[in-house]
């Protein structure tokens, strides 16, 4: 299975949910999808295609909140970034933690540092500060003029 084939199959399956595809090279691909499709996309990658969930990186930009879900296909060294852009005012997305435990802590961390709400998370408590930080203060949020 090579990168082209994987991307082709992915495009076929999620045609209407893909916003943009960037193939940097054989080992690095970024696909922007609609936030609502994240559960189906992750399920397809994890269960059908055998991808490993590395981690997710969230960031605050002028467009709103963005999350890159990093998936790895170890047999071919491919890192597939599933990129979603969330709403500026009330960022929320379905949690992946009911599918695999690997995303449990990072979703708690993103909730704590950026205030992104993960729907149906099994235990969305603070991970780092254990309640020692003020409520509603999100250290990784930025101010845009």
Q: Give residues in contact with another protein (CB under 8 A).
A: 24, 27-28, 30, 52-55, 57, 59, 61, 68, 70, 72, 74-77, 79, 81, 100-102, 104-106, 127-130, 132, 139-140
We find the least distance from the C-beta atom of residue 108 to another protein, in angstroms, to be 11
Distance CA(141)–CA(126), nearest Å, equals 16
Comparison of 72 and 117: residue with beta carbon closer to another protein = 72
Taking the mean position of all CA atoms in its chain, how far away is CA 86?
Answer: 11
Q: Phi and psi (nearest 5°) for 116?
A: -85, 130
* H-run or E-run covering 58: strand 52-61
We find the least distance from the C-beta atom of residue 43 to another protein, in angstroms, to be 14
We find the least distance from the C-beta atom of residue 30 to another protein, in angstroms, to be 7
CB 127 within 8 A of CB 113: no
């Amino acid at each position: 299975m090579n990168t082209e084939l994987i991307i082709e199959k992915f495009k076929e399956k999620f045609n209407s949910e893909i916003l943009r595809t960037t193939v940097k090279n054989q080992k690095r691909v970024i696909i922007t999808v609609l936030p609502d499709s994240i559960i189906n996309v992750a399920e397809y990658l994890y269960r059908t295609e055998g991808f490993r969930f590395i981690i997710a990186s969230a960031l605050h930009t002028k467009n709103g909140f963005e999350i890159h879900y990093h998936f790895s296909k170890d047999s071919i060294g491919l890192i597939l970034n599933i990129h979603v852009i969330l709403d500026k005012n009330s960022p929320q997305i379905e949690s992946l933690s009911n599918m695999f435990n690997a995303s449990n802590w990072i979703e708690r961390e993103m909730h704590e540092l950026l205030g992104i709400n993960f729907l149906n998370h099994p235990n969305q408590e603070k991970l780092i500060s254990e309640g020692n930080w003020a409520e509603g203060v999100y250290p990784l949020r930025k101010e845009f003029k």
